[in-house]
Structures are given as structure tokens and as C-alpha cells.
């Protein structure tokens, strides 16, 4: 069969522990960031605020991540469904606070370790390779409250203990690892990635880049350690990627778009892939009064701990204009930017741009010449269950088809693309909006924003479609 996708292409789906597992206080797990994030509108408001107190207040809010979709108890059923679709790989994260409930203990929690043993064994039973994110917006709450999150250098050594523990424990079960989810999103949303809520807008950038520097060191240490403990491991970085288009051919806008892309898209990649801060960082830091505390040995660690491959999430492109009015801004577009008149948007205002994925793949491969993996992409949409129980999600199929077509184009362009795990292969709790109703899955989960629902799983139309995509290695779209 003629297919553009290489043999052994890693087709699959992606999730994160906090959006999936539930059982937030079982198995000795400690609380983490996601456990204190309210559901619905309140979460969206929180993300743009300063000074969040990280307390749970059940009299005011709901906390959907506490139960999520109960993968903790239902993983066997879910993995069987992934296997039915023919998944080659399943991306999941380990919740740090299941392994070290507070984050700063000396000894790990055996019950937490045993849980992931069971999950990895179940995946291997079905011939599915686990792809594990080590940190996916799940900083242990104790590290947030006591230490101020990743602003604090101490987290580098706590993280080292955590990664050493999981590499040693799962060395025969996990080959593919990602260090920090969407590491470059840290400066936009420090709450998620860095586990702190800025005190003020003035301190946001300085604290975010300091936290990011700590993560660069922690990530490089993890890569070095992983290669020592698991010689055959493949360890990647994970970026949130949005190609930046200049709004028009005005050179002022073109230059501005280039600078935005440099800082948002490439700074983190350059550090993690090339092993050094890029040339343009110096001026940016100076002009924004960012003074990094870089300790002896940090730059050497970063140089030595470069990644084996690059993974990224792709949801949208970003259209940039140097001077913009509030009316021009895109709605809900997490990466910022002005509205692009050529693109339609999802119900949450995320602009849909399949060609932007080909642009991204070419930009990343052109710059780094390292294997690429798309580890998130998908359409968050409202689904309707018909009277006969079916879910006809043609809109999702269209979205995915158009993006996979562009992946095929990029492969023909010469890009070394090794895998694709679409986001939220089973419905789960949305990270930014804390909703169940923003669904991404091939598998429907009967759970609703008001907390009702049986948690029953159902195959959507896209389930059968994706199964065919995988079995034809991307030929039947
Ligand atoms: C990515 C995150 O930013 O986007 C995921 O890594 C998240 O955790 C995904 O779920 C989709 O975003 P949302 O807000 O629709 O869940």
C-alpha cells in the first residue's frame, strides 16, 4: 500500500494524569496543582489573575479533576479500547504527587509506583508503547505553597529525585519520555507550568524566566540521567508550538512577528535541543529587566543534556501585529495574537489552521534536524448523543483529517516525523476551562459539567474512522 507515513509510525492518543485519573486522594497521592483548580468559568478567570491562594473552596466551586474520568479504576477498559483502535503508542503523564505526595520526601510512595506498573503492564499486554510525560501541569501542592513553585531552585533537586525514582523503576517498561509539558508556555501561564501565581504583572516575567531556567536545568539533568539508567531511552522536550504569521507585509509587523516567534517558539527549543541560550535572548532579557540567577555548572548541564527528539502540541497558529487594539484580538486563542481573517475558529475561539501544522513541522525540522513527534492536536467540541446512542462527530473527523493530510505533506517535504498522538483520545477534563463538555475524544465519557453522569464509555464515529487511519498507516483518511 502506498502511504506517505513511514513504516512503524507511532499512531496513538495523548492524555495527562490530572485530567484523566481522578482518585485524587487514593493510593497515598498528595494534592497537586490541578486539585485546587476550580471547574468552568472560574478557572479561565483564574488563569489571567495574579495572587491565587491555592485553596480548595467547595462551597463556591466544583473540582472536576478530583474524579476526572476515573481512569485510576477503569484503565483496563480504556486501554482495551485504545488497543481496539490499533494504538501503537499512548501518551500519559505520571502524577508526581502519586510518587512523592509532598514532592520533597526522601522515599517514594510504593502504592503510587505500583499503580503505574499496572498501567504500563496493561499497555504492553496490548502491544502499546507508553510515552510518558514526567511533568504535565501537576506540581505537588506542597511545593507550590511551601517553596513558591519553580521559582525556587530547590525544586531542581526534588525533581531529580523524582525522575531518578521513575527511571529506575520503569526502566524495562518505558522507552519514550518527555520532560516538561509545553515548557515554553510557562511565561504565558506560569500557574500551569511553573506552579506559581504571579504577585504582580511587574514580577511575572522575571519570575517566569527564572522558573524556566530551573526547568531547563532540571530537564537537562533528567535527559542525562535517563540515558545513564535506560541506555535505549528516547527523551524529548515538549513545546506548545504556534507558527507566528505577520499580520501584513509591513516590515514593522514582520520584524515583530519574528521576535515573538523567537521568544515564544524558539528560545526553549534552542536551550533544550541545541544546549544553549540563543543569541537573541541577551537583548530580550536586558530590555525586559530580566536578570537570571544562573549558577556554576548550569550552562554545562544544559549543554550536556540535549534531547533526542522534539515533541510539540499544535492547536493553532498565531497572527501577530505590532500595535493592536483589543477589538482585533482573537477570542480564546491561548497563544495570543489578532484574528486571522482567513481562518475559522472552534466553539472556544481557537483558530483552525491545518496548513499551520505543515508550517510548524517545516520550521522545527528546518531549525533543528531532529525527529519530531506531534503529541497533541485535536478539536475541543460539544458532542451530542443521539437517541440510538451514537455520536456522529463528523466535525472532529474533518479537523483531524485535514491536519493529518498536512502531516503527509510535511513528510513529503522531507520532515522526519515519527509519531502522532492526538489530544484527549478519550474525553477528559479540559485544562484551561475545567469543563467536561469541551470534548476531544474518540471515546465518549458520560460525565457532565454539573457533575452528573455514569462515566460509561461509548465509541464515537471518529473511533472507527481513526481505527481505519491507523490500520492503513495514514492512507485512508
Ligand atoms: C494543552 C495541554 O495545552 O492543551 C493539555 O497540554 C490541554 O493539558 C490541551 O488539555 C487542550 O486544552 P484545553 O484547555 O482545551 O483542555
277-300 tens-digit pLDDT: 999 999 999 999 999 999 999 999
Is residue 22 domain-resident?
A: yes
Boundaries of domain holding 191: 10-471
Q: Which residues make Cβ contacts (< 8 Å) with residue 347, sequence separation at least 6? A: 380, 381, 382
Cell numbers for 242, please give them. Answer: 504556534
> Running DSSP on this structure, what letter comes out for residue 149?
G
What's the pLDDT at 227?
A: 98
Residue 281 Cα to ligand 1 middle (Å): 27
Tell me which H or E stretch contains 238: strand 234-240
What whole-number distance in Å separates Cα of residue 289 and Cα of residue 283? 10
Residue 377 Cα to ligand 1 middle (Å): 9
What's the pLDDT at 325?
A: 86
What's the pLDDT at 201?
A: 81
Is residue 3 domain-resident?
A: no
Report how far apart, in Å, the C-alpha atoms of 32 and of each of 98, 140, 307 are: 9, 4, 27
Report how far apart, in Å, the C-alpha atoms of 70 and of each of 64, 120, 447, 459 are: 11, 17, 10, 17
What's the pLDDT at 2?
A: 61
Q: Are 178 and 375 in contact (CB under 8 A)?
A: yes
pLDDT per position as a tens digit, 238-250: 999 999 999 999 9
Which residues does a 6 A CB cutoff place in the pocket of ligand 1?
16, 19, 181-182, 240, 313, 376, 380, 423, 430-433, 438
What whole-number distance in Å separates Cα of residue 474 and Cα of residue 267? 32
What's the pLDDT at 446?
A: 98
What's the pLDDT at 45?
A: 83
CATH number for the domain that contains residue 427: 3.20.20.80
pLDDT per position as a tens digit, 316-339: 999 999 998 888 887 766 677 899
Q: What is the mean pLDDT for each group of 10 consecutive residues in the chain (477 residues)?
A: 86 98 98 96 83 93 97 98 98 98 98 98 98 98 98 98 98 98 93 93 93 98 98 98 97 98 97 98 97 98 98 97 86 80 94 98 98 98 98 98 98 98 98 96 98 98 98 97
Specify the pairing of strand 176-180 against strand 234-240.
parallel
Sign of the CA dihedral 132, 187, 31, 147?
Answer: positive
Tell me which residue has cell 520503569. Answer: 170
The one catalytic residue among 138, 182, 260, 351: 182
Told to judge if 387 belongs to the known catalytic residues of this protein, a careful annotator would answer no
pLDDT per position as a tens digit, 35-60: 999 998 889 888 778 889 999 999 99
Is residue 5 domain-resident?
A: no
Report how far apart, in Å, the C-alpha atoms of 79 and of each of 83, 93, 201, 319, 373 are: 6, 15, 43, 38, 21
Residue 308 Cα to ligand 1 middle (Å): 24
Domain count for the chain: 1
What's the pLDDT at 1?
A: 47
Is residue 4 domain-resident?
A: no
What whole-number distance in Å separates Cα of residue 180 and Cα of residue 193? 8
- The HSE-up count of residue 433 (CA atoms within 13 Å, CB side) is 17
Amino acid at each position: 500500500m502506498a502511504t506517505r507515513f513511514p513504516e512503524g509510525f507511532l499512531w496513538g492518543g495523548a492524555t495527562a494524569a490530572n485530567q484523566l485519573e481522578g482518585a485524587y486522594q487514593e493510593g497515598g497521592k498528595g494534592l497537586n496543582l490541578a486539585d485546587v483548580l476550580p471547574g468552568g468559568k472560574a478557572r479561565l478567570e483564574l488563569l489571567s489573575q495574579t495572587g491565587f491562594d491555592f485553596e480548595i473552596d467547595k462551597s463556591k466551586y466544583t473540582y472536576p479533576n478530583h474524579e476526572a474520568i476515573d481512569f485510576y479504576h477503569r484503565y483496563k477498559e480504556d486501554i482495551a479500547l485504545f488497543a481496539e483502535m490499533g494504538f501503537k503508542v499512548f501518551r500519559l503523564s505520571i502524577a508526581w504527587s502519586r510518587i512523592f505526595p509532598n514532592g520533597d520526601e526522601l522515599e517514594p510512595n510504593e502504592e503510587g509506583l505500583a499503580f503505574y506498573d499496572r498501567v504500563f503492564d496493561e499497555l504492553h499486554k496490548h502491544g502499546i508503547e507508553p510515552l510518558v510525560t514526567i511533568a504535565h501541569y501537576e506540581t505537588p501542592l506542597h511545593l507550590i505553597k511551601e517553596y513558591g513553585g519553580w521559582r525556587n531552585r530547590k525544586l531542581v533537586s526534588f525533581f531529580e529525585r523524582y525522575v531518578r525514582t521513575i527511571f529506575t523503576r520503569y526502566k524495562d517498561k518505558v522507552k519514550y519520555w518527555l520532560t516538561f509539558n509545553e515548557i515554553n508556555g510557562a511565561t504565558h501561564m506560569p500557574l500551569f507550568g511553573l506552579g506559581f501565581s504571579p504577585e504582580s504583572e511587574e514580577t511575572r516575567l522575571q519570575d517566569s524566566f527564572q522558573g524556566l531556567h530551573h526547568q531547563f536545568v532540571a530537564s537537562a539533568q533528567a535527559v542525562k540521567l535517563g540515558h545513564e539508567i535506560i541506555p535505549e531511552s528516547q527523551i524529548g522536550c515538549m513545546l506548545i508550538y504556534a507558527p507566528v504569521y505577520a499580520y501584513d507585509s509591513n516590515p514593522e509587523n514582520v520584524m515583530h512577528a519574528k521576535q515573538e516567534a523567537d521568544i515564544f517558539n524558539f528560545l526553549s527549543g534552542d536551550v533544550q535541543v541545541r544546549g544553549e541560550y540563543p543569541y537573541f535572548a541577551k537583548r530580550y532579557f536586558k530590555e525586559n529587566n530580566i536578570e537570571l540567577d544562573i549558577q556554576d555548572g548550569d550552562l554545562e548541564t544544559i549543554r550536556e543534556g540535549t534531547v533526542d527528539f522534539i515533541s510539540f502540541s499544535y492547536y493553532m497558529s498565531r497572527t501577530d501585529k505590532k500595535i493592536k487594539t483589543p477589538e482585533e484580538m482573537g477570542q480564546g486563542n491561548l497563544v495570543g495574537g489578532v484574528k486571522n481573517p482567513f481562518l475559522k475558529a472552534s466553539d472556544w475561539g481557537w483558530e483552525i489552521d491545518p496548513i499551520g501544522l505543515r508550517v510548524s513541522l517545516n520550521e522545527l525540522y528546518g531549525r533543528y534536524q531532529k525527529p519530531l513527534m506531534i503529541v497533541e492536536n485535536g478539536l475541543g467540541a460539544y458532542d451530542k448523543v443521539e437517541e440510538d446512542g451514537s455520536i456522529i462527530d463528523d466535525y472532529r473527523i474533518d479537523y483531524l483529517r485535514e491536519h493529518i493530510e498536512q502531516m503527509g505533506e510535511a513528510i513529503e517535504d522531507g520532515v522526519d516525523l515519527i509519531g502522532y498522538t492526538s489530544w484527549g483520545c478519550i474525553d477528559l477534563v479540559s485544562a484551561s476551562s475545567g469543563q467536561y463538555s469541551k470534548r476531544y475524544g474518540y471515546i465518549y465519557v458520560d460525565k457532565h459539567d454539573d457533575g452528573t453522569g455514569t462515566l460509561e464509555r461509548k465509541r464515537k464515529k471518529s473511533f472507527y474512522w481513526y481505527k481505519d487511519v491507523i490500520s492503513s498507516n495514514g492512507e485512508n483518511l
